[in-house]
Amino acid sequence: MKPTMGQNLSFLMRYQMGHMYWRYFLWNYVGRDSDIQQAGVVWPTSLSKNELPERIATSPARNNFFAIPLIMGLIGLFFHVRRDGRNALVIGLLFVFTGLAIVFYLNQPPIEPRERDYTFTGATYAFAIWIGLGVLGLADLLKAVLKADGARAVAATLVGLLAPALMVAQGWDDHDRSDRYNSVDSAKNLLNSCAPNAILFTNGDNDTFPLWYAQEVEGVRTDVRVAVLSYLNTDWYIEQMKRRAYLSQPLPISMKSDNYAQGTNDYLPYVENPAVQEVNLREFIGLVDQNSQLLQVQTQSGRPLLSFPTRKFYLPVDTSAVEALGIIPKDRRKQLVSRMEWDMGKGAIEKKNLVILDMLATNNWKRPIYFSSTVNSADFMNLQPYFQLEGMAYRVLPAKDPNYDPRGNEGYVAKDLMFENMMKKFAFRNLDRADIFYDENNLRFPANYRDKFSRLAEAYLAAGDKATAKQVLDKCFQVMPDKSIRYDYYVPQFVVPLMQVGEKARANEIMDTMTSRAEQSLAYYSTHSNSLFDMEVQTNLLALQSVYRAAEEVGDQARAKKAVDLLNQYYPRQ
């Protein structure tokens, strides 16, 4: 249903300006609730910490400036307007055009992947000028009570210093990044998940920039070619990938540059041809490179467009050549296939997908090809039955996982390779230190680590090796204890493996801790009606669901009942 003008204006004022601008503005000068996404403003009259969930009350990102920086800025603004209206207008224009004007320009959507406060840095600078002028304004106001210039200057300066002093006292601990190596270690761990001379597909900025730092600055694994999927939709980046970089040879892309130039083959729609039941990937790439009429369809504009005629693709495999390369683990040799088959789906093949398919068809398994485990599954093109998990990345191999379930986990766990990587090569520096603050965004990769530790432990348990599974579980909780990296919704999946290796006390502690925290958080959010907290509510509900399933699986009816009772209590309110 098309929104009315009134609804559009309401969205502009309430969300785009109110939530996504003024909330950020007040974070800087009044106070911030926590590091949780959609966190609100802490006013001098806000709730005491005793009334808040532990996650918020103990967060170093809960900063209360008692509105003193805001008051100083407003004093400076009025003083500036009164004393020098022309220059005040200039600063005012800087404030507006780097703040509210950007709101109009960006037209922010209702859902953002993370907080966007950095967008308005210019407006923050402008208001900081007024905070500085606020000292002069305060001195001017004190004329009525203090006649001596020196006394007024001292008094105004001391009061003015309250603003930066509060900002340092409240904000230092959550902005201090010393001894925090999570970002660079996650990059090194991802690179070290790959075999020599590998090609690694990544998702976007957060996945990729730390990798570039590790390679460009520290010289780590420069044999691995990092290919950003979002950039592979551009011709300039594909050209860049076809050049050597450090120890990495050019990517094996066979298509001529004319066929991936901007505006050409940006996407290939699925246009069914009943006469074509399946298509050979190598032949398909050849037809694309020839701009073959067999793949052409007419658009409404009359311009021909290449398409794919069937969802069923296959890639013949020279099994003798693959065996000679020695890339299939010994325990998987029976899973080696002479023909890879997959369903491409009904959508379109984007340029990035076309490039990946080209490499699969051209590479002949000579260079290892990996997807980062953080890549959106929509970009996997349903190749998951041929994924092998070796750490934080999935390798594409012509070996089909006989137990693959599209509703379950992705990738066959190569136990020995993954053990070598995660237990010996990976670095988890300072993730065990409770005195270091890891904000919400920093906790995403440790959550991924936990998932992979869990999968590795489960793989060893499935093979009947409880001793090694216990090593893996102990390592996980040693490098990422709850005191520093709080239990997340991946942690309940450790309950069953912990029980199986005789760690019943730790399993029960996980269930009890997560249930207690979810109960406290849901009670708080249920009394603070705000649709923008939906994600935090859903996270706690997912945690309870995981606890319930784990408790049921280990036969702990009391803990399962408590979890399900809480779910029933809070689900109807959603």
CB 516 within 8 A of CB 507: no
Task: Provide the pLDDT for residue 349.
Answer: 94
Rounded alpha-carbon distances, angstroms, from residue 535 to 26, 39, 111, 147: 22, 12, 11, 56
Please report, for the chain, the start and end positions of each structural domain, with discontinuous segments joined by +. 5-175, 182-413, 428-573
Cα–Cα distance measured from residue 73 to residue 130, given in angstroms and rounded to the nearest whole number: 5
Per-residue model confidence as pLDDT tens digits over 114-126 = 899 999 999 999 9
Dihedral angle over CA of 104, 109, 114, 116, nearest 10 = 0
pLDDT, one tens digit per residue, over 330-378 is 999 999 999 999 999 878 999 999 999 999 999 999 999 999 999 998 8
Task: Tell me if 426 sits within 8 A of 391, measured CB to CB.
Answer: yes
- DSSP label of 45: T
Place of tokens 């005629």: 309
pLDDT for the residue numbered 572: 58
What's the confidence (pLDDT) of residue 407?
Answer: 82
Q: What are phi and psi of 334, to 5 degrees?
A: -70, -15
- Provide the 10 A C-beta neighbour count for residue 313: 23
Closest CA to 303 of 260, 265, 352, 270: 265
* Helices and strands in the chain, H and E counts: 22, 15
pLDDT tens string 434-480? 999 998 888 889 999 999 999 999 999 999 999 999 999 999 999 99
Which of 532 and 21 is assigned the larger pLDDT? Answer: 21
pLDDT bin (cut points 50, 70, 90) of residue 237 is very high
Higher pLDDT, 81 or 2: 81
Least confident of 129-143, 391-405, 534-548: 534-548
Residue 14: how many other CB atoms lie within 10 Å: 11
Mean pLDDT (whole number) for 1-13: 92
What is the per-residue pLDDT for 41? Answer: 92
Q: Measuring CA to CA, which residue among 361, 359, 344, 352 is closest to residue 271? A: 344
Q: Give the pLDDT score at 249.
A: 93
Burial class (CB within 10 angstroms; exposed 0-12, middle 13-18, buried 19+) of 141: middle
pLDDT at 539: 86
Give the per-residue pLDDT at 211: 96
| Residues 272 and 278 sit within 8 Å (Cβ to Cβ) | no
What is the pLDDT at residue 574?
43
Say whether pLDDT at 112 is over 90: no
- The whole-number average pLDDT for the span 387-410 is 94
Q: Give 91's pLDDT tier (boundaries 50, 70, 90).
A: very high
Per-residue model confidence as pLDDT tens digits over 520-560: 988 888 777 555 567 788 888 999 999 999 999 999 999 99
Which of 162-166, 334-338, 488-492 has maximum average pLDDT? 334-338
pLDDT band for 85, please (50, 70, 90 cuts).
Answer: very high
**Residue 47 has what pLDDT?**
65
Q: What is the pLDDT of residue 523?
A: 87
Residue-wise pLDDT for 170-226, tens only, equals 999 999 999 999 999 999 999 999 999 999 999 888 889 999 999 999 999 999 999
Q: Is the pLDDT of residue 37 over 50?
A: yes
**CB-CB contact of 472 with 419 (8 Å):** yes
Q: pLDDT band at 485, cuts 50/70/90?
A: very high
pTM of the model as a whole: 0.91
Complete DSSP assignment for 469-491: HHHHHHHHHHHS-TTTS---TTG
Euclidean distance between CA atoms 476 and 302, whole angstroms = 59
- Contact present, 195 and 420 (Cβ < 8 Å): no
Alpha-carbon distance of 168 to 173, in angstroms, equals 9
Mean pLDDT to the nearest integer, 131-142: 95
Q: Does the pLDDT value for residue 573 go beyond 70?
A: no
CA–CA separation, 177 and 186 (whole Å): 16
Confidence of residue 303 (pLDDT cuts 50, 70, 90): confident
Task: Provide the mean pLDDT of the chain.
Answer: 92
